[in-house]
């Protein structure tokens, strides 16, 4: 009788322990998934900020599917796109994704922009090498110009000679 009671208590304790462990692990897994979803959302929102895109995550928040994140152009996006187009026209090495922009395929446009930063830096370096000694502009001047409209004096002169309007 005593051994049945001990066996019953052991099984009961193991069973309760298993149930508690299951719920704790399940809760931990849900927290990890929620953190992953939040990190993904932050990534796509920050990515959209590069070209000042408005990021819509409403459907994503319901589904957790990143393909449900959408972007929409803003006035600031149009300004950045126009600067990028002007730069591309003046410096053909820096390509411009006209078709993706026309189709409003903003994820592709963002990827294209990020892939173009190396070419922007190379052209910026070429411009900087033309500057008089003691007046060397940043090697990121093209990227800064596209994103912010900021440009150093020597670069402004270079851009204006190439027909790029600097405000």
Tokens 């190439």 locate to 162
The answer, yes or no, to whether residue 31 has pLDDT greater than 70, is no
The pLDDT value recorded for residue 81 is 96
pLDDT digits (tens, 9 = 90+) for 81-99: 999 999 999 999 999 999 9
- CA angle centred on 95, ends 49 and 90, rounded to 5°: 105
Residue 21 is predicted with a pLDDT of 56
- Mean of the per-residue pLDDT values for the chain? 82
Distance CA 52, CA 109 (A): 12
Spatial distance between the Cα atoms of 102 and 48, rounded to a whole number of angstroms:
17
* Backbone phi and psi for residue 105, each to the nearest 5 degrees, phi listed first: -90, 75
pLDDT at 129: 87
Would you say the C-alpha torsion 142, 144, 149, 150 has a positive or negative sign? negative
Q: What is the pTM of this model?
A: 0.74
The answer, yes or no, to whether residue 33 has pLDDT greater than 80, is no
pLDDT, tens digit, 9 for 90 and up, residues 102-161: 999 998 999 999 999 999 999 999 988 888 877 777 778 899 899 999 888 888 888 999
d(CA 64, CA 154): 48
Strands 70-72 and 54-56: antiparallel
Q: Which among 164, 160, 122 has a CA at the least distance from the CA of 143?
A: 122
Q: What's the helix, strand, coil split of the chain in %, to 5? A: 70, 5, 25
Tell me the pLDDT tens digit for each residue of 57-77: 788 777 777 778 888 999 999
DSSP assignments along 99-111, one per residue: HHHHTT-HHHHHH
- Which of 98, 85, 80 lies closest to 150, judged by CA? 80
Q: What is the DSSP secondary structure assignment for residue 66, as one 8-state letter?
A: G
pLDDT (0 to 100) of residue 74:
94
Residue 28 pLDDT class (50, 70, 90 cuts) = low
Q: Which residues pair with 71 in a beta bridge?
A: 55
């Amino acid at each position: 009788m005593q051994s049945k009671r001990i066996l019953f208590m052991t099984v009961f304790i193991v069973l309760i322990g298993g149930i508690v462990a299951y719920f704790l692990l399940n809760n931990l897994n849900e927290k990890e998934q929620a953190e992953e979803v939040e990190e993904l959302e932050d990534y796509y929102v920050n990515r959209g900020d590069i070209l000042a895109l408005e990021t819509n995550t409403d459907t994503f928040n319901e589904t957790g599917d990143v393909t449900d994140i959408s972007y929409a152009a803003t006035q600031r996006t149009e300004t950045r796109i126009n600067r990028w187009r002007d730069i591309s026209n003046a410096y053909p090495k820096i390509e411009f994704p006209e078709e993706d922009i026309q189709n409003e395929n903003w994820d592709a446009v963002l990827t294209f922009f990020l892939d173009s930063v190396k070419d922007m830096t190379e052209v910026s370096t070429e411009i900087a090498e033309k500057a008089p000694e003691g007046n060397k502009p940043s090697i990121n001047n093209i990227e800064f110009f596209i994103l912010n409209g900021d440009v150093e004096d020597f670069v402004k002169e270079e851009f204006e000679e190439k027909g790029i309007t600097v405000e």
